[in-house]
Structure 1
Amino acid sequence: MGQWDVFLSPYKQAVDELKVKLKGIRSQFGIVNANSPIEFVTGRVKPLASIYDKSLEKGVPFEPSDKLAEELQDIAGLRIMCQFVDDISAVTELIRQRNDMKIIEEKDYITHSKPSGYRSHHMIVEYPVETLRGKKIVIAEIQIRTLAMNFWASIEHSLNYKYKGVFPEEIKNRLQSAAEAAFRLDEEMSLIRSEIQDAQTYFSEYKEDLAVLTNNPEKEREK
Structure 2
Amino acid sequence: MTANEFYGPELAQMRLAERQVLEAVEELQRVWKAQGRQSPVLYTSSRIKSPESMCRKLAQRGQPQTRQAALTRVRDAVGVRVICGFQDDVYQVARWLEDQAAFSVLETKDYISYPKENGYRSYHLILGLRAGPGRGMTVEVQLRTIAIDFWASLEHQLKYKRQVPHARLVREELRRCADEIASVDLSMETIRELLAGSF
TM range (shorter): 0.7 to 0.9
What is aligned with 2:70?
Answer: 68
* 1:73-129 Cα shifts (integer Å, max 9, x gaps): 111001111111111221121112110111011011011100000000101010147
Alpha-carbon offset, residue 13 of structure 1:
1.6
* 1:144-196 Cα shifts (integer Å, max 9, x gaps): 11001111111111122223999811211111011011101101101111466
Does the residue aligned with 1:162 lie in a helix, a strand or coil? coil
Q: 1:102 to 1:194 in 2, by over 3 A?
A: same
Mapping 1:90-109, distance limit 5 Å: 90-109=92-111
Higher normalized contact order (CA 8 Å, seq sep 6+, divided by chain length): 2
Q: Which amino acid aligns with 1:26?
A: Q
Greater share of residues in helix:
1
Matched, 1:86 2:88: yes
Give me the identity figure in percent: 26
The answer to whether the 8 Å contact 1:78/1:141 transfers is yes
Separation of aligned partners in 2, 1:89 and 1:158 = 27
What is aligned with 1:174?
Answer: 173
Mapping 1:179-198, distance limit 5 Å: 179-194=178-193
The answer to whether the 8 Å contact 1:160/1:167 transfers is no
Mapping 1:52-67, distance limit 5 Å: 52-65=55-68, 67=69
**Would you identify which runs of 4 or more consecutive aligned residues in structure 1 move more than 3 Å?**
128-131, 163-167, 194-198
Q: 1:51 to 1:165 in 2, by over 3 A?
A: farther
Alpha-carbon offset, residue 50 of structure 1:
0.9
Does the residue aligned with 1:143 lie in a helix, a strand or coil? strand
Structure 1-normalised TM-score?
0.79
Does the residue aligned with 1:39 lie in a helix, a strand or coil? strand
Separation of aligned partners in 1, 2:23 and 2:76 = 19
Matched, 1:14 2:17: yes
What is aligned with 2:117?
Answer: 115
The answer to whether the 8 Å contact 1:30/1:36 transfers is yes
Q: Which amino acid aligns with 2:51?
A: L
Separation of aligned partners in 2, 1:52 and 1:164 = 23
Matched, 1:42 2:41: no
Separation of aligned partners in 1, 2:166 and 2:116 = 15
Structure 2-normalised TM-score?
0.88
Q: 1:194 to 1:167 in 2, by over 3 A?
A: same
- Give the root-mean-square deviation of aligned CA atoms: 2.4
Q: 1:165 to 1:138 in 2, by over 3 A?
A: farther
The number of aligned residues is 194
Separation of aligned partners in 2, 1:136 and 1:76 = 13
* 1:196-218 Cα shifts (integer Å, max 9, x gaps): 679xxxxxxxxxxxxxxxxxxxx
Q: Which structure has the larger Rg?
A: 1
Q: Which amino acid aligns with 1:38?
A: V
**Long gaps (5+) in structure 2:** none
The answer to whether the 8 Å contact 2:70/2:77 transfers is no
